């Protein structure tokens, strides 16, 4: 269609995307419930309401906010050492002080835990953080679960990259029983491995309200394409790659398509989710709250999560063969080299739509490439200065091509209707 080219061209040259990225990352890391996340929510809502033709609403939900107030990690023996660097993992338990050996389990596979059988109980399980987006990543929550099951009293995840400082992440959202858990940098891991340590963590939970932001551009039919990205993050750095890159792309695509309100075959519903980093909660409550007719009216979901750090893009197609076909067709038509990965992956908000049978994909840069910028996710190195204007625009252009194709595809493809 004739309108596509000017839209892609506008995104390719967009300065607004760069300004949005600077403003969003200036809010800070955006841990759900923090002042930083609330500032980001206000900023993004103002951006959405300033788009002529966009119908803006919010989806609010009650949840338990997690906040850390204080922490302290010390080595007791062989040589005492205090004030070691660490960062409490979101959702983990607090403690007035627990002592034990930091049992080094290497990567922290099931075999690693098996080998150390007998040592873990009553001690700290020390495992390694790993590149989160490869075909055989063992997720932190799996290692945390192994530690819980083996009777560990604490869980420590170490960042193996010396230049990337501390590491964080979620721990404990899926279990009632929790243990204290922290991330450490590589030097600290070396200092505590095999030593007796003491950890104190003051974490609290309070009632709060989360806000998913929604903006709609109606189409000619009742069908919708959902374009989503999570704006929450972690509090170690700027949550720049993960996921300011996705949010600013979604905003710019929405702006460019808004003048076509009522003209395209399908409507565009942009959703900026929060509480993604805490067990995909925001999108879970949103998708669970739709009725059957509303779910059927969603033809496809394009979830943008981590669009910088690599020029290689992959669509995680959540088990939908029709999405693989769709992506291959867009890739060929638009001269993109998009890869696909079929298995359903629970690593971002697309999962909660796919779970309900809605064709949902995640677009990601650097999948299965441990050298991609995405290796800095969840670390102190996920900072705004590592993402260039060119990368922001490149990711948004790829996303725009997918969204345009989904908005204009024939009825019933890739799904919905």
Work out the widest C-alpha separation in the chain, in whole angstroms. 72
Distance CA 370, CA 132 (A): 9
Q: How many CB atoms lie within 10 A of CB 311?
A: 14
Per CB under 5 A, 305 contacts Zn ion: yes
Question: Cβ closer to Zn ion: 402 or 405?
Answer: 402
Shortest spacing between CB 232 and Zn ion, in angstroms: 9
Q: Which stretch binds Zn ion (CB under 5 A): 237-245, 287-295, 326-334, 378-386?
A: 237-245
Task: Residue 263: name the closest of 196, 218, 307 by CA.
Answer: 218
Element containing residue 58 per DSSP (H, E)? strand 55-77
243 lies in the binding site for Zn ion (CB under 5 A) = yes
Yes or no: say if 366 and 245 are a contact pair by the CB < 8 Å rule.
Answer: no
Stretch that binds Zn ion, among 120-128, 168-176, 304-312, 399-407 (CB under 5 A): 304-312
Q: Residues 6 or more apart from 16 whose CB is under 8 A from it?
A: 251, 252, 255
How, if at all, do strands 360-365 and 313-316 pair? antiparallel
| CA atoms within a 13 Å half-sphere pointing along the CA-CB vector of 313 | 30
Smaller CB distance to Zn ion: residue 185 or 242? 242
Q: Are 416 and 309 in contact (CB under 8 A)?
A: no
Stretch of 70-78, 212-220, 239-247, 389-397 contacting Zn ion, by CB under 5 A: 239-247
Q: Is 168 in the site for Zn ion (CB under 5 A)?
A: no
Query: Does position 283 bind Zn ion by CB under 5 A?
Result: no
Q: How far is the CB of 239 from Zn ion (least distance, A)?
A: 8
How far apart CA 179 and CA 125 sit, in angstroms, is 11
Tell me: does residue 232 bind Zn ion (CB under 5 A): no
Give 83's contacts (C-beta < 8 A, 6+ positions apart).
72, 73, 74
Please tell me whether residue 401 binds Zn ion under the rule CB under 5 A: no
Candidates 166-174, 191-199, 240-248, 361-369: pick the segment binding Zn ion (CB under 5 A).
240-248
Of the ranges 15-23, 140-148, 305-313, 326-334, which one interacts with Zn ion (CB under 5 A)?
Answer: 305-313
Q: How far is the CB of 169 from Zn ion (least distance, A)?
A: 11
Question: CA-to-CA distance for 16 and 256, rounded, in angstroms?
Answer: 11
Nearer to Zn ion, 195 or 274 (CB): 274
Cβ nearer to Zn ion, comparing 124 with 133: 133
The token duo for 223 is 């069908």
Q: Could you tell me whether strands 267-273 and 196-217 are parallel, antiparallel, or unpaired per DSSP bridges? A: antiparallel
Q: Which stretch binds Zn ion (CB under 5 A): 5-13, 202-210, 236-244, 266-274?
A: 236-244
> Of the two residues 108 and 282, which places its CB atom closer to Zn ion in the complex?
282
Q: How far is the CB of 395 from Zn ion (least distance, A)?
A: 13
- By C-beta, is 51 or 240 nearer to Zn ion? 240
Residue closer to Zn ion, measured from CB, 256 or 396: 396
DSSP label of 163: G
242 binds Zn ion (CB under 5 A): yes
Task: State the residues that interact with Zn ion by CB under 5 A.
Answer: 242-243, 305
């Amino acid at each position: 269609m004739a309108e596509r080219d000017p839209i892609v061209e506008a995104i390719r040259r967009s300065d607004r995307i760069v300004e949005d990225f600077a403003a969003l990352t200036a809010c800070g890391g955006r841990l759900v419930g923090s002042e930083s996340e609330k500032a980001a929510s206000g900023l993004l809502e103002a951006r959405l309401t300033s788009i002529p033709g966009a119908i803006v609403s919010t989806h609010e939900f009650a949840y338990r906010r997690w906040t850390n107030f204080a922490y302290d990690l010390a080595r007791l023996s062989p040589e005492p050492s205090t004030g070691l660097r660490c960062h409490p993992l979101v959702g983990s338990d607090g403690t007035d002080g627990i002592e034990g050996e930091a049992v080094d389990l290497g990567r922290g596979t099931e075999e690693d835990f098996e080998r150390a059988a007998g040592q873990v109980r009553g001690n700290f399980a020390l495992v390694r953080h790993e590149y989160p987006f490869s075909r055989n990543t063992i997720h932190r929550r799996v290692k945390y679960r192994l530690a819980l099951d083996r009777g560990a009293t604490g869980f420590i995840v170490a960042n193996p990259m010396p230049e990337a400082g501390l590491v964080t992440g979620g721990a404990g959202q899926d279990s009632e029983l929790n243990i204290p858990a922290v991330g450490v940098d590589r030097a600290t891991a070396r200092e505590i491995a095999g030593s007796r340590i003491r950890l104190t963590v003051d974490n609290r939970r309070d009632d709060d309200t989360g806000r998913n932001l929604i903006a709609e551009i109606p189409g000619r039919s009742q069908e919708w394409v959902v374009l989503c990205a999570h704006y929450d993050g972690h509090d170690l750095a700027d949550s720049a790659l993960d996921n300011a890159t996705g949010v600013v792309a979604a905003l710019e695509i929405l702006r460019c398509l808004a003048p076509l309100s009522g003209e395209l075959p399908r409507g565009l519903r942009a959703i900026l989710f929060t509480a993604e980093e805490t067990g995909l909660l925001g999108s879970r409550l949103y998708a669970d709250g739709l009725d059957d007719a509303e779910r059927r009216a969603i033809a496809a979901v394009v979830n943008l999560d981590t669009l910088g750090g690599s020029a290689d893009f992959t669509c995680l197609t959540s088990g939908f063969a029709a999405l693989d076909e769709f992506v291959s067709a867009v890739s060929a038509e638009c001269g993109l080299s998009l890869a696909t990965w079929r298995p359903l992956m629970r690593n971002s908000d697309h999962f909660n739509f796919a779970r309900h049978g809605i064709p949902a994909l995640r677009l990601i840069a650097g999948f299965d490439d441990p050298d991609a910028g995405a290796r800095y996710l969840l670390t102190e190195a996920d900072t705004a200065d590592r993402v260039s204007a060119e990368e922001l625009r490149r990711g948004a252009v790829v996303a725009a091509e997918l969204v345009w194709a989904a908005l204009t595809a024939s009825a019933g493809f890739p799904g919905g209707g």
